[in-house]
Amino acid sequence: MPGLNTSLSIAVQALEANQGALNVTSNNIANVNTPGYSRQVAILNEAPTFQENNITFGGGVTLEQFQSVRDQLLQLRIYEETQQQGNSETQFNSLSQIEGIFSDPSQGVGGALSAFFNSLSQLSTNPTDANARQAVLTSANNLANSFHQAASSLTTIGTGLDQSVPQTVDQINRLTSQIATLNGQVAQMQGLGKDPGTVQDQRDELIRQLSGLVNISVTQTEHGLTLTTANGVPLVVANQSYGLQANANNSVLEHVFSAQGQDITSQIQGGQLGGTLQVRDQALPQLFTQLNDLASQFATSFNMQHAAGFDAAGNAGQNFFNPLPTTTDAAASFGVAITDPGLIAASSDGSAGSNGNLEQLVALRNQQLPAGANPMDLYSNLVLQVGNLGANAKAAVTATNLSLQQLTDQRSSVSGVSLDEETTNMIKYQRAYEAGARVVTTVDSMLQTLMSMGVTT
Amino acid sequence: MRVNPDMSGDILAAIWQTQNQENTALQQMSTGKRVNVPSDDPLAAAQMVGNQDQSNRADQYLQNIDTLTSQLQTADTAIGSAVAAITQAITLGVQGSTGTLSDANRQQIVQNLLGIQNELVQLANTSVGGSYLFGGTASTAPPYTLDSTSPSGVTYNGNSGTNTVQVADGLNLQTNMPGSQLFQNSAGDVFGSLQQLITALQSGTPADAGTATNQLRTAFDSLTGQRIFYGNAVNQLTSTQTFLQQEQVTLKSQANNLVGADLTKAATDLTRATTAHDAALAAAAKILPTSLLDYLK
């Protein structure tokens, strides 16, 4: 038969266990808004029983451990979706900057091209009119400026993206080295049979941040997590991180190298870095090619027709636009070659009053360039391209945000702190603590009763 | 089943979404456009490039028509004056070919005819903005100069070139007629027959004067025949103008279909979005502050 002391020690255990459990509740409440925090639960267990006279007596309660509640699979899905989100948001942000210069059809290259043809048409009604000749030169220069503007804004966006590559790589390296440290700690604690709780929360949150930057693949091994790029280039193995490198070179585009020096630029597809590289290496060059083709082919065909005519003095037409030998920077170097309005080769018969060649030049409006369409249609294709890129990125942003929100909700339904739940627990532990304390006072008074036996007052 | 205890994320997403819908509807209503950047509707934005260009062309064609109409009317007026002058010359020629005239009268007629010759040269040198209308494409210098050594009494400095100007897609209209074709063609030569009449009256017989007068009549008929070109051209410009004005209306309505906002729909969208936004805010205000703690004393 266990004595009063046993009851007392069981009651004290109850006080300790409930106090400990209240600690968990308190910690949960404190971290209710901490990103990546997984709620913890106190694992209470019956203490070993003991037997006396064939009766089994309960041994009280013990607080086994605090355990974080998490769903690792859900966590992996969140990483994947975060990569998509980082990618599409980066693409959307840079592409919507491009859209600005292609938004108003009466402005930009399209508007300037239209105005240039109109000025030629205007001149054709009176080819000897000096003002109308000057107007042709003015609108030709406007066209050149529009090409420059379009080219320079594409270049600026490209340069901005390029400069962000080494910055993002730095961020990635900082994160992987932190993750490696935490990864080591998690493995160590798990090895000791402890719940890594907070450390794991921190590590998972950092991996989530890393997913926003680059596409990674996460594998669980006995030494903790292994993080690699989607193509298997290691980033974190156990407590070791492998930094990526960007060649910080101003003259060429930044490439990304693995720690072993392998060029992995083309393999990076997800996350902010993937989005950056995709816009820089695919979308922008595509738009640039279309713009440059338009500029160089238009200048070439215009010059050819211009040379077939005669200027105001009856001389054969010179180059109207600067010839563009290479197409890589055609839009940027597009320029008007003549400054004297008299040099416009309006005439087809050598007389100053003839407008025959102007009519031919105006007709270029409807003539197919080598790229397969007339100048205005080529520009229209460019606008379509810009619009499609932007619309796709916008749709991707909306879709990934939605599914990420759902995943976050799911994760929160498993691991999120509910204040109502914690409050309930708090009351539960408080009551149990009070009850335990009452047992202590009761046992105490019983002991006093016992002590006072035989004592005369 | 445990539910997501943190509703702030969902509530914020709902508020942002309804706010975004409000912004979109508001933007459509304030700009009157459904497509404000190409990504709003890439195909419509691309088609708008063509629509805008077409509309710019129509504007330019209409401007060309104004300029050309004025040029053609000036030319026609000049020819009208020439026709009147030639009519007068023919009357004088008929008078001069009667055998009963005194030398003094004959001299008087010659003086009058020389005046008409001078007037015709001036009319044939009509210019608009420094460009001579009857010199062919050599329009920078006066096409006709008086020349007593020439059998026609004048020298033609112009050429036989013509210009055409585009006034609609696929319609290039001839805008000038060289003096050589107008005044001096194979059917009749205004200057030549006038000079012949003057010479006949100065040193020929009344019969010579009669022949020359008849030739002048033929040249007159030829000129009035050629003059129809101007009337036709102006008529064609007028009908093209009507066509282009209709086209502009069509293009505007096309543009509106492509990128214009349906204001009724935008207004309805705005109302709906505002209601949804209010509802989301109200729900947030109701849900977020409540917890079990409110009920514990």
Per the CB < 8 Å rule, is A351 touching B13? no
Average pLDDT over residues A35-62: 88
The answer, yes or no, to whether residue A140 has pLDDT greater than 80, is yes
Which residue shows structure tokens 């998972």? A204
What is the domain partition of chain B in residue ranges?
A: 50-253
* B135 contact A CB<8A: yes
Residues of B in contact with A401 (CB under 8 A): 13
Q: What is the pLDDT of residue B241?
A: 95
What is the domain partition of chain A in residue ranges?
A: 4-69+417-451, 77-386
| Of residues B38, B52, B56, nearest to A102 (C-beta) | B38
Q: Give me the total of CB pairs closer than 8 Å, taking one residue from chain A and one from chain B.
A: 199
Q: What are the tens digits of pLDDT across the range B13-49?
A: 888 889 999 999 999 999 899 998 999 999 999 999 9
Query: Which CATH number describes the domain made up of B50-253?
Result: 1.20.1330.10
Average pLDDT over residues A346-350: 92
- Both tokens of residue A205? 């949150």
Give burial (CB, 10 Å; 0-12/13-18/19+) of A106: middle
Q: What are the tens digits of pLDDT across the range B204-256?
A: 888 899 999 999 999 999 999 999 999 999 999 999 999 999 999 999 999 99
Q: What secondary structure, in 3-state letters, does chain B show? A: CCCCCCCHHHHHHHHHHHHHHHHHHHHHHHHCECCCCHHHCHHHHHHHHHHHHHHHHHHHHHHHHHHHHHHHHHHHHHHHHHHHHHHHHHHHHHHHCCCCCCHHHHHHHHHHHHHHHHHHHHHHCCEECCEECCCCCCCCCCCEEECCCCCCCEEECCCCCCCEEEEECCEEEECCCCHHHHCEECCEEHHHHHHHHHHHHHHCCHHHHHHHHHHHHHHHHHHHHHHHHHHHHHHHHHHHHHHHHHHHHHHHHHHHHHHECCHHHHHHHHHHHHHHHHHHHHHHHHHCCCCHHHHCC
| ipTM of the complex as predicted | 0.88
d(CA A417, CA A419): 6
Q: What is the pLDDT of residue B63?
A: 95
CA dihedral A242, A247, A248, A251 (to 10 degrees): -170
Q: What is the pTM of this model?
A: 0.85
Average pLDDT, rounded, for chain B:
91
Identify the H or E element spanning A168: helix A130-191
| Of residues B48, B139, B172, nearest to A128 (C-beta) | B139
Q: Give the gyration radius of chain B's Cα atoms.
A: 38
**What percent of chain A has a predicted confidence (pLDDT) above 90?**
63
Q: Which positions 170-199 of B are in contact with A (Cβ < 8 Å)?
A: 172, 175
Q: What is the pLDDT of residue A457?
A: 56
- Both tokens of residue A416? 């999120």
Per the CB < 8 Å rule, is B59 touching A118? yes
Residues of B in contact with A418 (CB under 8 A): 2, 5
Q: Which positions 326-355 of A are in contact with B (Cβ < 8 Å)?
A: 347, 349, 351-355
pLDDT grade for A39, boundaries at 50, 70 and 90 = very high
Q: What are the tens digits of pLDDT across the range A8-27?
A: 889 999 999 999 999 999 99
**What percent of chain B has a predicted confidence (pLDDT) above 70?**
100
Candidates A414, A33, A77, A425; CA nearest to B3 is: A414
Q: What are the tens digits of pLDDT across the range A185-222?
A: 988 888 888 888 888 899 999 999 999 999 999 988 77
| Of residues B10, B46, B293, nearest to A409 (C-beta) | B10
d(CA B245, CA A262): 65
The answer, yes or no, to whether residue A2 has pLDDT greater than 80, is no
Which residue shows structure tokens 């000749």? A133
* B292 contact A CB<8A: yes
- Both tokens of residue B209? 């004067």
Long-range contacts of range A5-10, CB-CB < 8 Å, 24 or more positions apart?
Answer: A6/A57, A7/A439, A7/A443, A8/A440, A8/A443, A8/A444, A8/A447, A9/A60, A10/A47, A10/A58, A10/A59, A10/A60, A10/A61, A10/A439
Q: What is the pLDDT of residue A248?
A: 61
Query: Of A116-125, A232-241, A322-331, B82-91, where does mean pLDDT reach its minimum?
Result: A322-331
Average pLDDT over residues B164-191: 92
pLDDT grade for A326, boundaries at 50, 70 and 90 = low
Average pLDDT, rounded, for chain A:
90
The answer, yes or no, to whether residue A223 has pLDDT greater than 90, is no
Per the CB < 8 Å rule, is A359 touching B172? yes
d(CA B194, CA B220): 10
The answer, yes or no, to whether residue B55 has pLDDT greater than 90, is yes
* A71 contact B CB<8A: no
Q: What are the tens digits of pLDDT across the range A368-395?
A: 999 899 999 999 999 999 999 999 999 9
Q: What is the pLDDT of residue B7?
A: 81
The answer, yes or no, to whether residue B154 has pLDDT greater than 70, is yes
